[in-house]
């Protein structure tokens, strides 16, 4: 059975407005394109995450004649249906299957972008991105720098589904953002919902820097929210404060924010704790200022991600925050993360940094010193 056909607990994500842009690594732009000619800026439609991703790529193909989409099983719509209907609409020379080789996909994408094309490559699972690691780390990330800005491959986006799905085991569950975030020159993005996925993906495709775009596969079908049907972009390099609060700052990214929302609800419902929840959205380069501002206000910080604890990106957040907020901190910063084990199939419920573990951390920092 295909992974995407199984559902995790059905729960609607709340409708979330985007924060006002203060300083964007890449500016938010409203665009009109052929793909969204009929849509007005305000028109929205309920859609799930894979449909939102599909729409973003539809708009990209319509608005950019040099854009191509490729990867394993992409032509028939992809194993998660993200490219459904695009080959029929734009032709098999623009949306096509490649042989089964991730390093080939990444290398092909870089070359295509280096001479002026826009390349949207799909790695079927983030767990299989590692054969492409040499191309991503040594080539894609350094392409502009090493040539003295003569050549660049900024028009590359590599999409890859990531994260726990309930039954993925070692090789259909991982979240490799920390490996990637250790690479100067890359942009690493992980959206949490259909609306953010569409806007961030369009920004990533049009970004002048190469992007690895990690999609929470558990949410492809289950997360549904109103999404603007037109062409819009959300800024890269900028976090979003999903919920304002005064007691403790919670930082996370990607599909894991569903868990953190639940933890915030429990903390409020059970203990009356007011949590400020922040979605980093872009892992690299990440929005230090938004998190620092929040922690200076709350004095407490919990960072949570699905990937293993040791050298996870949470470690970077914590190290930076203690430097900037040392005198504001009222309790030791907590990291609630995946365990330092391979992703374990039958033990997933123990491995996952679930709402209960996060609730425990939230109450611990609140009780610290009392």
Instruction: Give me the residues that bind another protein (CB under 8 A), please.
Output: 23, 25, 66, 68, 93-94, 96, 98-99, 101, 103-104, 106-117, 119, 131, 134-135, 138-139, 142-152, 154, 184-185, 187, 208-209, 237, 285-286, 288-289
The residue among 241 and 292 lying less far from another protein, judged by its C-beta, is: 292
Least distance between another protein and beta carbon 180 (Å): 15
In the set 26, 72, 122, 172, the catalytic residue is 172
Q: Is 172 a catalytic residue?
A: yes
Nearest distance in Å: CB 362, another protein = 28
Query: Using H for helix, E for strand and C for coil, what is the string for the chain?
Result: CCHHHCCCCCCCCCCCCCCCCCCCCCCCCEECCHHHCCCCCCCEEEEEHHHHHHHHHHHHHHHCCCEEEEECCCCCCCCCCCCCCHHHHHCCCCEEECCCCHHHHHHHHHHHHHCCCEEEEECCCHHHCHHHHHHHHHHHCCHHHHCCCCCCCCCEEEEEEECCCCCCCCCCCCCCHHHHHCCCCCEEECCCCHHHHHHHHHHHHHCCCCEEEEEECCHHHHCEEEEECCEECCCCCCCEEEECCCCEEEEECHHHHHHHHHHHHHHHHHHCCCEEEEECCEEECCCHHHHHHHHHHHCCEEEEEEEECCCCHHHHHHHHHHHHHCCCCCCCCEEEEECCCCCCCCCHHHHCCCHHHHHHHHHHHHHCCC
Please state the closest distance from residue 145 (CB atom) to another protein, in A.
Answer: 5
Rounded least distance, CB 229 to another protein, Å: 28
- Structure tokens that stand for 5 in this block: 């056909």
User: Which of the following is catalytic: 26, 72, 102, 233?
Assistant: 102
Indicate the residue among 209 and 247 with the shorter CB distance to another protein: 209
Nearest approach, Cβ of residue 298 and another protein (Å): 22
Task: Kindly state the smallest distance separating residue 124's Cβ from another protein, in Å.
Answer: 15
Known catalytic residue at 88:
no
Q: Which residues are catalytic?
A: 102, 172
């Amino acid at each position: 059975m295909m992974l995407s056909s199984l559902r995790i607990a059905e729960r609607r994500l709340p409708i979330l407005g985007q924060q006002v842009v203060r300083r964007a690594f890449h500016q938010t732009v409203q665009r009109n394109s052929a793909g969204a000619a009929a849509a007005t800026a305000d028109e929205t439609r309920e859609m799930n995450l894979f449909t939102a991703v599909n729409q973003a790529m539809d708009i990209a193909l319509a608005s950019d004649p040099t854009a191509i989409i490729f990867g394993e099983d992409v032509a028939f719509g992809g194993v998660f249906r993200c490219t459904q209907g695009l080959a029929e609409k734009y032709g098999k020379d623009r949306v096509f299957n490649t042989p089964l080789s991730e390093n080939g996909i990444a290398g092909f994408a870089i070359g295509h972008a280096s001479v002026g094309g826009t390349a949207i490559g799909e790695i079927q699972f983030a767990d299989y991105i590692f054969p492409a690691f040499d191309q991503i780390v040594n080539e894609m990330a350094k392409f502009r720098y090493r040539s003295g800005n003569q050549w660049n491959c900024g028009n590359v986006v590599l999409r890859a589904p990531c994260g726990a799905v309930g039954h993925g085991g070692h090789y259909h569950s991982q979240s490799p953002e920390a490996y990637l975030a250790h690479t100067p020159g890359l942009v690493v993005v992980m959206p949490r919902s259909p609306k953010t996925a569409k806007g961030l993906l369009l920004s990533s495709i049009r970004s002048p820097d190469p992007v690895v775009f990690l999609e929470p596969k558990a949410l492809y079908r289950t997360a549904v929210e109103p999404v603007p049907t037109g062409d819009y972009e959300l800024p890269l390099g900028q976090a979003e404060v999903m919920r304002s609060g005064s007691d403790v700052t919670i930082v996370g990214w990607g599909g894991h924010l569903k868990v953190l929302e639940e933890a915030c609800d429990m903390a409020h419902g059970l203990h009356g704790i007011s949590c400020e929840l922040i979605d980093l959205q872009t892992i690299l380069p990440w929005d230090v200022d938004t998190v620092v501002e929040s922690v200076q206000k709350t004095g407490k910080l919990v960072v949570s991600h699905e990937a293993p604890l040791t050298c996870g990106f949470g470690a970077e957040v914590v190290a930076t925050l203690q430097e900037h907020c040392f005198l504001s901190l009222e309790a030791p910063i907590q990291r609630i993360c995946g365990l330092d084990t391979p992703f374990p199939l039958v033990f997933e419920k123990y491995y996952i940094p679930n709402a209960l573990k996060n609730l425990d951390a939230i109450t611990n920092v609140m009780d610290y010193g009392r």
